[in-house]
Amino acid sequence: MRWSVQGGIQLPTASREAPSRLTSRLPDLLQTLSLELEDEISVTARVGFDTDKDPAALRWLQRKFAREIASLSYLENNAPFIPVPYVIQVDANTDNAVRAPYVVVENPLGEPLVNAIPDLTLPQRETLAIALGESLARLHRLGPLPAKYGSLTGTDSRGVPVVGPLARSWGQSSRAEGPFENIKQYLSTELAHYSRVAQSDPKATPAVQALLAKLGTLLPYLIPNDAAMQRPALSYSDLRDTSIFASEDGSLGGIAGMEATILPACLAATLPVFLRRDGMYNRAYKDPARADRTLLSDTEAQHLRNICIDASRRVDPAFYVALVKGEKIRQMLEFLSTSNWEGLWRWDGDVRRELGLGGR
């Protein structure tokens, strides 16, 4: 992969005085900056925040950057149909001019969907939906992959991904979890992890705590028995409106997310957020604390979702099967990962009634 650990990107020294170009921050750890270079090249720089004072944070960030570089390298070599960020410069240490670990990547072509969609015509939006469906289906059938689930952390001498522990956000990374040998082991670990997260969340009421304790009783009804749905598949699931880029003509400019995971096929298959109205994106389960940033009307989202799915089925019919068979489990995991406890409570009752389990 093409990157440099030396050279001419000038970044502000990492400190608690965040620069004016700061665009986002993980709590007390990571700054994300948008920079404009010569020749109108737009880049994103992510810089460790006070990691020289916290060895645990430095190790977490170094592992994160290593996963990102490994993921981008694998995708660049094996998935040219998905434009991934071009890594300009990376340094995972603190003995540099910035005094912090950092990575600098060139932004994808075009604009993120949150800005691009309003300016695209319907035919251009349809072009984008087709490109996304085709790309996601191709990604879903990449291989060979190891027979285990976890984060992509590198490749071996044959170019096959190396699978390591799950990636956790900073503050939720006290223990290494995975890789996993089967879907039940993976899901049990996820439920246990988010139950621990809920214990320190004041919004997780005693009723929610009780729900989390028995949420695993749904899994036997939701896990597909089909072995093909449990085969390892690559998941590049940061498909938010701010991570997918579109060019002016509606072509796919790239995806800015930088970490890949190996998951069961039924969990790896997913659709871009702007096309979804299921699970936590269904207004019936929406977290009232989260802003509603819907880019499309429900009617247009359904139209483009159908186009996206049809395009994916032409490339790989198994992708659509995985979308359907893994839908409920993916929804459950999304509620958990976003701490949408109220939505999870309502969703759980509806799913139990749908399965004939009599609600709670």
Can you spell out the DSSP letters for 116-175? HGGGS-HHHHHHHHHHHHHHHHHHHT-----SSBEEEEEE-TTSPEEEESPP--TTS-SS
CATH architecture of the domain 22-106 equals 2-Layer Sandwich (3.30)
pLDDT of residue 359: 64
Q: Is the pLDDT of residue 177 over 50?
A: yes
Instruction: Label residues 17-33 b or e (16+ Cβ within 10 Å = b).
Output: eeeeeeeeebeebbbeb
pLDDT of residue 4: 37
Whether 111-354 and 22-106 are alike in CATH topology: the answer is no
Q: Per-residue pLDDT tens for 194-211?
A: 999 999 999 999 999 999
Of 57, 9, 6, the closest CA to residue 33 belongs to 9
Lowest-pLDDT range, 17-31, 210-224, 275-289?
A: 17-31
Q: Is the pLDDT of residue 27 over 70?
A: no
Q: Is the pLDDT of residue 15 over 80?
A: no
* Domain ranges, ordered by start, for the chain: 22-106, 111-354
pLDDT of residue 289: 77
Looking at residues 242-247, what average pLDDT do you find? 94
Give 66: exposed, middle or buried? Use CB within 10 Å, 0-12, 13-18, 19+.
middle
Q: Is the pLDDT of residue 98 over 70?
A: yes
Q: How far apart are CA 129 and CA 173, in angstroms?
A: 35
**Mean pLDDT, the chain, integer:** 88
Q: Which range is most confident: 107-116, 231-240, 316-325?
A: 316-325
228 compared with 29, residue with greater pLDDT: 228
Predicted confidence band at 25 (pLDDT cuts at 50, 70, 90)?
very low
Lowest-pLDDT range, 46-55, 136-145, 217-226?
A: 46-55
Q: Per-residue pLDDT tens for 37-81?
A: 776 778 888 888 777 778 888 888 899 999 999 999 999 999 999
Of 120, 127, 96, 140, the closest CA to residue 5 belongs to 96
Looking at residues 340-346, what average pLDDT do you find? 96
CATH match for 111-354 among 2.50.20.10, 3.40.50.620, 3.90.1200.10, 3.30.365.10: 3.90.1200.10
The SS3 assignment for 71 reads helix
